[in-house]
Structure 1
């Protein structure tokens, strides 16, 4: 607090008659010669009233603002100077002491700031400056000196000497296994621990010894320039003993044949290894044929050579192991040869994947021809009498079709002889040494699936390559050589070829890569009709121009979900009957027929009538299909071979084909057709031997219809006429002059 005198704020008040008396007031009511101010009066101006009184009691007043300020510094007492050790926290004022102070008004704060000279080991000194500040900003400072001293209280216990009974390398002997110093006590910073090893070879039973020099340093105490404080040193003895012998790794025993010229064998072997925990001091062997202590490779004479290896490790442990090198006398092998050739058919096309056997007394081997028909036997012993023979008795139907029966029939009748002895052998289905209708019967059973093979024969026959038939028109006069004899084999026998004959395949179609190209498609036909479940019906199956064909084959299927097949009815059994038909296990009706040539021909085009019982209501169209899985559907004519299809016609029925009357016959290119139904609508067509349409006419026809061919050729023409209810056909021979 402070006093404000009235005279302090007076600026020269006076009176003209008498002295004046001064007084001051805070509130302008109570006036005193002085007033008291305190710390609460700071901050805002204080309004005071000055009164001037003379002797007569007259007075006057004036006001003024007074500012109150604090210019007194606070008092501050620092804690005493002190010393700590490096483990104590000099930032803990509870440990180092707290400054105290006071102020006439209000003490605002007491703070400190350190000026440090503390070293890395946490030792040294610092000056702590304390500052007291009051509300008016007046400050007071004092200092405190704090000294931090080193601690010398560390303890070190070194590991004891160690004896190890194990096979271990010096580099593997870490302190975790042999012991390390134990550190204790108080210290200003972690101690550094280091060691160095000296390895010495030692007499048995020791392998080696290690002098491990330990050095522990307290860098806060240690002075490298002198004195022993802060450093501890010790040498530990590690003695390693090993009683395990080295392990020898040798190559396997070897048996080798001597060179015929030198009767010695060059033996080449890898290096021997000796495994041990310590270094191998000695590794040797007793072989007289190698100077390399790690390897016994060299030239060895005939006999048994027992090589002993010895190894000793650094601890004096020894091991021995023996290797046998056996050299046998030189062997001159018997010579071996190659035997091989090629299988081809008459056209030179390879016959592939056919087994070929080579046999002799006490010897048999077999191989197979590759995709080029080539076969080779390797390493065949010499001086034996060999028989070489291919054989193939599978895939019997491959290449065998009704067309082959047509060709065989023409050969038997002399109309078109088979012009090759190989084709004649293929036609001899029953291996009777002749070609007869019985061969046709056997082959037809094979085609129809009645039989799966031919009795007394094989699927293929093979004839020695280059064989010349004594009579090429009759290959049956002498046995055909189907094997090659190789007596007392003494050399290579390549080029031992054979010609393959597929039995039944007289036109050579057995090779899939040489399939026959058919000209076009002719069609079997039947009438579509609506049927009801349980209904019995006859379905005529027609082949237009049947009488002009040489033969046909096909497989017919009837949808078993729609119809039950009762049996076929043959319209002309003298040409087509049960011998030409077979029903397979999977319900395929196979047909195979060929013309008898030279005799009568079928009178109309209906092959047969199929007796069916309907299982459901519906249409017949689509219920009949041709099966092409095992049998190609084909028809053979003088004009060429055609594929055979199947169509359903929408006409009510298919009428029987009747024979036309044609005259003159033979003709020069102009002839007449006698119309069976004069005055009715009639359509007539004429086809040449190639199946090409060369003349046609439609409309109301007279009793005689004249045909005049524009460019007639000397050949047999087919004539067909049809009305709404009838079909007619005939043939006329044209001969040009």
Structure 2
């Protein structure tokens, strides 16, 4: 580059002159890329009037002194990628022409690894290899040259190892600059240098693979859209990216027509749909990974094209006309040249509309164009209906519907009323079909209501009470909003024990009406926002149509029979009590034990069988010409009001009882349900039964805890005449809190024993007293009954025994 000072160490001319002179230098360089060649230095001396010159020839030789540190042998564990196997590091190679290559061989059966790679590195300096780059000298690594440290540290890394070499160096020959022009030795080719220019080294690395092949980004397959005009797809599945430090094989499968097909494809003839795709990767170390996905083949939806409008006339004979959806098509197309279906709704079958006289005018419609795969496109049009040529069709609008129960049974005797904005108000009472129909003026705004208020007891039984009680106690909720509304007997918008009181009075005929109408009518279209709380928002009571412009059908009402929560009411009112079909699986026998008392009085104790009972209702009758009822004393039913008689309706005794805990109660055959006292009016037979079971008085209903219904039978037993007998008063108070009194009388003096025991028969208290005049009284404290609940008691005397029930609150 014109800086000749670097050549000064090679000498400068010595001048012997006694005058001023200038010395100039020119260098001609002839050197190749390996640093071989020559340089000619020409020096020129100039003095006033004289000049002279001389030349210096410099010969440059190449010294192949490059050193290579090859990568070490290593063991790798899969999971750390990429595998850093290393590359040769080359030193002193500023003017060398270096080429680096390697060959390798993999061994898959290795005792201590998954596989092994033997990699043979080859580094060539083409400046000294000659015509053929063959290895003529087997160099030794720096730790085998026999040199002391640090002379053996050829790469200057601070050690002498077995993977660092210098060109053509062995333990016996180490050619350097002094041998640069030596033709032979240690190499054997006839070039003018001692180096062969080739270094080789065997590197071994092993891979321990304990990791399954990993699908880096999963294996999702893009959707395939069938191009025009094809109807089927030809798909080649993509190859997912897999991370694996050893070689692996990939099995690609797709499920077509229920059969797994191997290979990425191409797969031909795929119709639109979703196909299962499975990728399985196997590595050399017997590890397997699976990745499952799907391929979705999509057929583009059709393109709907409608006529902007269509005008048709009514047919005079019928005053109607049918328009087909295909009449509106104006060249709709599909990607696949398959037939298209035309419909007025997204459903394929709605292919036509029928218009009548009340439809005269223009009406916007949608045309749905559907392909064979169910894909839909829609466009809009207008259909204009005109009067028929040569005639006129007059329009009369109508509204019709059905009044029915929640289960779909028609309701008879429902009164449907319509209020019209034109004053055309009408009413209609439904027949056995539940249907109603009104002719109205077109354009009228109308409000429809429905009502029914007859036979409040229809379908109301004691079993309804227990179902309502279970709902109140959160034991078993009523399963529809209509049943919950039916349970609201007092119209409070809630379901409470007050509703049970109202319904029980109705069942026992204490009252014949409820505080609310016997039926509540709700538009079928009304949707309860919260079905578990029907009163969460106001309940619609009417159907409103702002403008009657056509024949309105399906304007239905759902009728709810108040008190009937098991849908047993007779909606046709053909029977008095309901239509509940119950097949008895067992029989409960009641025994009326009659005892003739002094003064023409009769005591009747009604004993049950020992069975578990959940509900019971029945009616008894007696002959009012022969007997007068004096009193009814509850014993097993102590504290309950679910039975009795009405002096305004003589001759009847009714029972409606259910377990208020909503669980069955075990009847005690030794304790009467209740005791009745009658006075005889005439000289009747002593063996004449006072009470008769009468199914027509009220529905007989007995159920147990398993959901079974039982038949009921009443037997009568006649006891001996009692000229002197043990008489027991009703415990007072009963139920009790802290104390109760049990009193009575017997014909004479004597000991009186009081036993109190729980429902399991365990004695909780025993008391004894002596009565000199026959009158006796016991005080029962709370301590005599360990906890609140029902307890039985027994009075035992030499004149007889009496049993009863105590209720501890």
- Tell me if TM exceeds 0.5: no
Bigger CA radius of gyration: 1
TM-score by length of 1: 0.42
